[in-house]
Amino acid sequence: MASPTNNNTPANTSCISPECDRRISIAFDLLQITIVALVAIGVLYLLFQPYAPKTAL
């Protein structure tokens, strides 16, 4: 394992270029936002389920 401070040798699992790092961080941000949104929707659904009309599936 190479030390994280050594940026001279490229690692197979990560990319060194800032452009690629930015893309990866944006992808992880979108994934995190999606997970948070799904959890929030699930919590709201469970909270408001007793008040929903009985005909709604």
Q: Mind listing the pLDDT tens digit of every residue in the chain (57 residues)?
A: 544 554 454 444 556 688 888 888 999 999 999 999 999 999 999 888 877 666 655
> How buried is 8 (Cβ within 10 angstroms: 0-12 exposed, 13-18 middle, 19+ buried)?
exposed
Claim: this prediction has a pTM higher than 0.85: no
Instruction: Give the pair of three-digit tokens for residue 49.
Output: 């389920």
pLDDT of residue 5: 53
For 14, the enclosing helix (H) or strand (E) is: none
